[in-house]
Chain A
């Protein structure tokens, strides 16, 4: 489920029971806060639940991170990164 290509961690919680996506996002942000804050790491949360995009963006945004939602057709990709960090170009 979790891939680690260098400075990116992608977590796929599509189809999972609510509120798995928010709890997973909070856990991963806490686990990697040093790397995230220093801009060495970006988290990608993949979810198909559209209310999760709001909940994750609100909660993680309030913790002082840059949060962005990208619509990837069958799912949403929520990018969590250091504020003002240069946005990584889309992989699609």
Chain B
């Protein structure tokens, strides 16, 4: 693989910047969906709509001018199946119980949050557990496949640019109304706070840089599986060797910066995915930690109610499983797949809603009961 150092530096920088941005704006995607059901009001969700719409605009312009080259279905976003929806539901439940999604967990961990550390551990366990039943789940995915179209434009047999223009007109109108009414702006009560709408615009640019230079949008859950697999390899190497999921290299992607096609997998080995996702993951934690330290808000508290720690761990496991079953995580689907209208991502997002609702019910009934 060529240009490994450059790839590593770019990826670490993107993670580092994302960590600072998400920490400063408290860009908690799990919270956005949870609050929709828990409080019937989710002011931050509007920033997520802005992030998706702006990414859609950037990705499409980049594709039209030739900066971004992708063709679906591919390893990035395949053909839709009912398992995308089921995985989304499970992921939604998990992220609410864990108190943060896959990246929310990382930026909270960077700020010294103990439940986030439990959720991180759970994510590793859940991601690795999936390998135990991957062949059965793969069969279910094939059996419940929903047609041969990978994207909405393919399904509707419309030019992607036309559909994206129509969608952007509708979303743009909505965002304009929110902006005029001041609904995109959050009160600025805290020193060092970054407005979520600014964070949304910056994260969309980071997504574009990642997609155009590294060949894939932001995503980190395969690195969780790999870390889990590395641990398992140390403990039970024979078992790891017997699992198809850990031995495959079925993920194929084109890496523009080194102009080559790579094959990668979820197993305990160093490959193109590890090269991109490990520094990104670490970068988010380090960026967030530095942001928290510079704000004077880095603190580790250990007197957390045990049921909350258990909820975070359990939520992390479910989220890890959901992320593998869908496959991929909320960042991959919401910030990468939705802007290019992947049907897999649309199904995942559809699943997130009932999942977050169920998660909110469990959270308030059992974990944070009054």
Seen from chain A, the residues whose Cβ lies within 8 Å of a Cβ on chain B are 1, 14-20, 22-23, 27, 48-51, 53-54, 57-59, 69, 71, 73-76
Q: Give 1 or 0 for each of B28-69: 1 = CB within 8 Å of chain A CB.
A: 101100110011000110000000000000000000000000
* Contact A53 B38, beta carbon cutoff 8 Å: no
Q: Count chain B CB atoms within 10 A of each CB in A1, A15, A48, A75 and give the residue with the most.
A: A15
B113 touches A15 (CB 8 A): yes
Q: Which of B112-131 contact A (CB under 8 A)?
A: 112-115
Given that A17-B311, A20-B308, A73-B296 are known contacts, is A57 also in contact with B301, CB under 8 Å in the complex?
no
Which listed residue (A17, A19, A48, A54) contacts B186, Cβ 8 A? A54
Say whether A19 contacts B35, CB under 8 Å.
yes
Interface pair A14/B299, CB less than 8 Å apart: yes
| Interface hub of B26, B35, B44, B111 (most chain A Cβ within 10 A) | B26
Residue of B nearest to A52 (CB): B26
Cβ-based interface call for B191 (8 A):
yes
Contact B370 A54 (CB under 8 A): no
Q: Please indicate which of the listed interface residues A27, A50, A54 has the most CB atoms of chain B within 10 Å of its own CB.
A: A50
Q: Which residues of B contact A57 (CB under 8 A)?
A: 187, 189
Name which residue of chain B comes closest to A75, CB basis.
B299
**Can you list 30 A-B pairs with a CB-CB distance of less than 8 A?**
A15-B113, A15-B304, A17-B115, A17-B304, A17-B368, A18-B28, A18-B34, A18-B99, A19-B34, A19-B35, A19-B38, A20-B368, A23-B368, A23-B370, A48-B297, A50-B26, A50-B190, A50-B193, A51-B26, A51-B28, A53-B190, A54-B43, A58-B187, A69-B190, A71-B190, A73-B296, A74-B296, A74-B297, A74-B298, A75-B297
CB distance from A44 to the nearest CB of B (A): 16
What separation, in Å, do the CA atoms of A16 and B118 have in the docked complex?
12
Q: How far is the CB of B10 from chain A (nearest CB, A)?
A: 29
B interface size (C-beta, 8 A) = 40
With the chains together, A48 CA to B364 CA distance in Å?
Answer: 21
Q: Are B31 and A51 in contact (CB under 8 A)?
A: yes
The main secondary structure of chain B at its interface with chain A is: loop
Contacts of B99 in A (CB 8 A): 17-18
Q: Which residues of A have CB within 8 Å of B193?
A: 50
Give Cα distance in the complex from A14 to B311, angstroms. 17
Beyond A51-B28, A74-B296, is A15–B301 a contact (Cβ under 8 Å)? yes
> A54, B187: Cβ atoms under 8 Å?
yes
B370, closest chain A residue (CB): A27
CB distance from A53 to the nearest CB of B (A): 5
Residues in A neighbouring B312, C-beta threshold 8 A: 17
Decide yes or no whether B367 CB sits under 8 A from chain A: yes
CB contacts (< 8 Å) of A15 on chain B: these are 112-115, 299-304
Do B44 and A50 touch across chains, with their CB atoms under 8 A apart?
A: no
Pick from B26, B300, B302, B305: contact of A49, CB under 8 Å: B26
CA of A15 to CA of B301 in the docked complex: distance in angstroms?
Answer: 6
Q: Could you say which residues of chain B place their CB within 8 Å of the CB of A50?
A: 26, 190, 193, 297
Q: Are A54 and B189 in contact (CB under 8 A)?
A: yes
Report A91 CB to chain B, min CB distance, Å.
Answer: 18
Complex CA–CA separation, A8 to B126 (angstroms): 44
Closest to A50 in B: B190
Q: How far is the CA of A46 from the CA of B114 in the complex (A)?
A: 17
Nearest CB of chain A from residue B290's CB, rounded to whole Å = 16
Report whether B299 and A19 are in contact in the complex, using a CB–CB cutoff of 8 Å.
Answer: no
**CB–CB A16/B26 < 8 A:** no
Whether A18 lies near B100 (C-beta < 8 A) is yes
Residue among B115, B300, B367, B368 with max Cβ neighbours from chain A (10 Å): B368
How far, in whole Å, are A15 and B304 apart by their CA atoms in the complex? Answer: 7
Give chain A nearest CB distance to B356 CB in angstroms: 12
Choice from B28, B299, B305, B367 contacting A48 with Cβ under 8 Å: B299
Cα separation A73 to B311 with both chains bound (whole Å): 28
Give the docked Cα–Cα distance between A76 and B295 (Å): 12
Assembled-state Cα–Cα distance A53/B364 (Å): 20
